[in-house]
Amino acid sequence: MKYFTILILLVNFSIISAQEIETKTGPIIEKYGKVYQVQNPDLELDKDTTYKVIFDIFTDKSQDDKVNPLLNAVARYLNMHAQQGISLDHMKTVVILHGAATKSTIDNVAYQNRYAIPNPNAEIITELKKANVEVYVCGQSYLASGFQLEEKSPNVKVALSALTALVEYQTKGYQIINFN
């Protein structure tokens, strides 16, 4: 009986190990945006529809030396849907950063001067821009945070305000994603 119990435990462990959940990045943002591989989901995006999305990001729960996890979520959105066959041409994506997320948009020199390390968000913002994501910072939050316009990353545009960006893009049919 003892050996039978051990055999059952080993078989169960083998089955659990064989069913490990796979994650993968890319094909749009290779270094960021790792997603789980969901086999045969009941709901997927239609491959022929163009999706217009604006991400409203106003928090940053990372430490100063880590990527803002909500910027990583934008990369996940792109990678996840590209892995399911949605072309980048069918994903019109905009990001507006404000509030605590504003610091993500300053260049490496300014970040280094303020936090004594390079901006951990610089690379992901560059990669998002390469993927045709428009990245904006709220001008109100930016100036209220004491940043100078010349300190802004060249990969980020300034909106009059986050409110302005949200109204403008929603008027153009963009759906807001806010999960701060």
Tokens for 110, please give them: 């300014």
Q: How confident is the model over 17-49, as pLDDT tens digits?
A: 445 678 898 999 999 999 998 989 999 999 999
- Would 132 be classed as within a structural domain? yes
Confidence (pTM)? 0.86
- Would 9 be classed as within a structural domain? no
Percentage of the chain beyond pLDDT 70 is 88
- Would 119 be classed as within a structural domain? yes
DSSP calls for 109-171: HHHHHHHSS--TTHHHHHHHHHTT-EEEEEHHHHHHTT--GGGB-TT-EEES-HHHHHHHHHH
- Would 7 be classed as within a structural domain? no
Q: Look at residue 152 in the predicted model and tell me its pLDDT.
A: 97
- Would 121 be classed as within a structural domain? yes
Return the residue matching tokens 């590209």. Answer: 82
pLDDT band at 5 (very low <50, low <70, confident <90, very high): very low
Q: Look at residue 62 in the predicted model and tell me its pLDDT.
A: 86
Cβ-based burial of 58 (10 A; exposed 0-12, middle 13-18, buried ≥19): middle
CATH number for the domain spanning 69: value is 3.40.1260.10
Tokens for 99, please give them: 């509030």
Q: Look at residue 179 in the predicted model and tell me its pLDDT.
A: 78
Give the residue among 36, 48, 147, 63 at the shortest CA–CA distance from 102.
147
- Would 141 be classed as within a structural domain? yes
Domain residues for the domain of 104 are 22-37+50-177
pLDDT band at 7 (very low <50, low <70, confident <90, very high): very low
Domain count, the chain: 1
- Would 93 be classed as within a structural domain? yes
pLDDT (mean) for 98-127? 96
Q: Look at residue 93 in the predicted model and tell me its pLDDT.
A: 98
Distance of CA 136 to the CA centre of its chain: 14
Query: Looking at the chain, how many residues does it have?
Result: 180
- Would 3 be classed as within a structural domain? no
Q: How confident is the model over 57-93, as pLDDT tens digits?
A: 999 988 768 999 999 999 999 999 999 999 999 999 9
